[in-house]
Amino acid sequence: MKHYLLAGAIGTLAGAVAATQLAGPLIAQETGKNASVYEQLDLFGNVFERVRSDYVEQVDDKKLIESAINGMLTSLDPHSSFLSARDYEDMQTQTRGSFGGLGIEVGQEDGLVKVISPIDDTPAAEAGVKAGDYITHVNGESLMGLNLDEAVEKMRGPVGSEIKITILREGEKEPFDLTITRDVIKLTVVKTRIEGHAVVLRVTTFNDETMSTLRTEMEKAIQQAGGIDKVTGFVLDLRNNPGGLLNQAIEVSDAFLDKGEIVSTRGRKPEESERWNAKLGDLAQGKPMVVLINGGSASASEIVTGALQDHRRAIVVGTKSFGKGSVQTVMQVTPDSAIRLTTARYYTPSGRSIQALGIQPDIIVEQPAPKPKDEEDADTPRSASKFSNSEADLRGALNNDAVSDEEKKQIEEEARQVEATAKLREEDYQLAYAVDILKGLSAVDFRADAVPESVKPAVTGEGAADGDAPGGTQDQDSGGASRQ
């Protein structure tokens, strides 16, 4: 849609110039078979001067040129764009883990602003914004026809101010409004919890702090669980994680793999292909893993998921991921501005591209919609505690003389944990499903080193190298989306 609007605008300008009988030679050069790049730049300069001198209102030269550059980049794909001084500063702030806004990652689809994912514990998430929502209006003003940067600008405002956004959501008959108060967004990149004997690692984004925080939080959680021997496994929760830095996705994947390819990238030239391999060392120490994904899991999240899935290191549970299989490089072009340019496609260890396809879970588990409060009350069963429902409740039942008091306490504790997981299904069905899988695997003494090796990784061309991307540019896998 953005490319179509740009072509229309250029066509109108060309028609106006032709009417003045001044652009005939330039049009002939443009349509000629041997038109050179310099002739095309002359065309651009001619149009630029016409806009400056003849447009109905005076235009800002800097803004006009930046808009032209952004139009050129956004016509390539949805993730390439120009970063003005303000946008470039915002991007650098976001990768450091703190910024002001609503707390959503957005992209553009068919001229509409689409929510890739809400960020945990932010105003947008608390207001009920969901991955896949379309934002059609801001404070009653339509976003139709605006490019992504213009739409994002409409959503900006002082911290503490209110904004009303209109949401179009699949399954809802009519659009509806949400009022959100802007706030300073401080990203908690990794949160951990213990469910039963499973360690849940919730990773919300991939920024400069992700891997170091993951390592620290894992160590704390393992200690809290009573040591690695007490842990049944790990749940890596990547739901609604919109991605981030490529090198962080590689490091997180490497944290759970001992060997083999993690990801490869292939650019325009074969010699620019790269491949990253895992180094010895598994933070989970061979314990089973489940990765949770959904439609808000994009980009760097898909790199991690694809690597662990291809190596059969983890069972992937949830719903299909977003399907962004390209890598963007942020290139500084002036001291205070940059371009975000799609420079490569990435491939999982088995050689598959998930571009526009997403990653299919090994087990599809939908997250049920929450029930209205009145339905919850109606479905709650009356207590059966006053009725006998086991041998132990019968009057005069024999004692179990084969179990010590200590063993009985252990059995009761296990029962409490099972009941807690059952209760978790009401709060987060997908997570409860993942915890149940780990408990089942622990019952049969599963270990990662007992799983056969995955399919042999595809060769990505000569010149592939292990390690991070070359210096001088910053690979940002989630480029093209914007956090607000």
Which residues touch 457 (CB under 8 Å, ≥6 apart)? 260, 261, 264, 275, 310, 349, 350, 351
- Catalytic residue from among 81, 117, 264, 299: 299
Smallest CA-to-CA distance from 414 within 373, 443, 381 is with 443
Q: What would the two tokens of residue 151 be?
A: 């739409």
CB contact set of 429 (below 8 Å; sequence gap of 6+): 365, 367, 368
Please give the full DSSP string across 15-57, using - where no structure is assigned.
HHHHHTTSSHHHHHHHHSTT--HHHHHHHHHHHHHHHHHHSSS
| Tokens describing residue 281 | 């060392």
| The total number of residues written for the chain in this structure | 484
Known catalytic residue: 264? no
Distance in angstroms (rounded) separating the CA atoms of residues 330 and 315? 33
Distance, in Å, from the CA atom of 129 to the CA atom of 424, rounded to the nearest integer, reads 22
| The one catalytic residue among 254, 310, 475, 477 | 310
Q: Is 461 left (phi over 0), alpha (psi -120 to 50) or beta?
A: left
Given the residues 324, 436, 454, 477, select the one marked as catalytic.
324
Q: Tokens for 412?
A: 């009761």
154 is catalytic: no
Three-state DSSP class for residue 376:
helix
Cα–Cα distance measured from residue 37 to residue 478, given in angstroms and rounded to the nearest whole number? 31
Alpha-carbon span 107 to 122, nearest angstrom: 18
Residue 171 to residue 116: CA distance in whole angstroms: 17
Order of strands, sheet of 315-318, starting from the edge strand that comes earlier in the sequence: 190-195, 198-203, 233-237, 289-293, 315-318, 363-364
User: Cα angle vertex 235, ends 232, 236, to 5°?
Assistant: 145
Alpha carbon distances (Å) from 18 to 15, 31, 49, 98, 115: 5, 14, 15, 50, 42
- CA atoms 339, 341, 343, 344: torsion sign: positive
373 is known as an active-site residue? no
Q: Which residues are known catalytic residues?
A: 299, 310, 324
